[in-house]
Amino acid sequence: MRNSLVAALAACAETSLRPRARRFLSGLSSDELEFLAGFFGGWILEANTGNEVRGAGKQNRPEVRGGMVSDLDHKLILVHEYLCCAGTPQLAARVESAR
């Protein structure tokens, strides 16, 4: 399953950046890979309805405790970093603004 997620997500990157994206994805946990796959699956479904990428609305975000980055913040950072590795900085900027 893990290898399939890495391969599928790497295939979404620009052709010249696929090795870089694959290296980035290979360092992620299964949970992180599943989050990325779910995020992009939801993104595709929302794109078909004309909605913008929202990430997580601020009203639904878990509280950051003790200065630690929450799990959701961590995963949205992963989305942002993956998009940068994949050669889609415009989408990365949209995710960053949704945070």
- The pLDDT assigned to 73 comes to 84
On the question of pLDDT at 94 being above 80, the answer is no
- 45 vs 35 pLDDT, higher one: 35
Task: Name the average pLDDT for the chain.
Answer: 78
CA gap 57, 72 in Å, rounded: 11
Burial of 6 (0-12, 13-18, 19+ CB in 10 A): buried
Average pLDDT over residues 58-85: 69
On the question of pLDDT at 93 being above 60, the answer is yes
Q: Are 10 and 80 in contact (CB under 8 A)?
A: no
Where along the chain do its domains lie? 2-98
Average pLDDT over residues 49-65: 47
Contacts of 54 (CB under 8 A, 6+ apart): 46, 98
CA gap 98, 93 in Å, rounded: 9
Average pLDDT over residues 61-79: 68
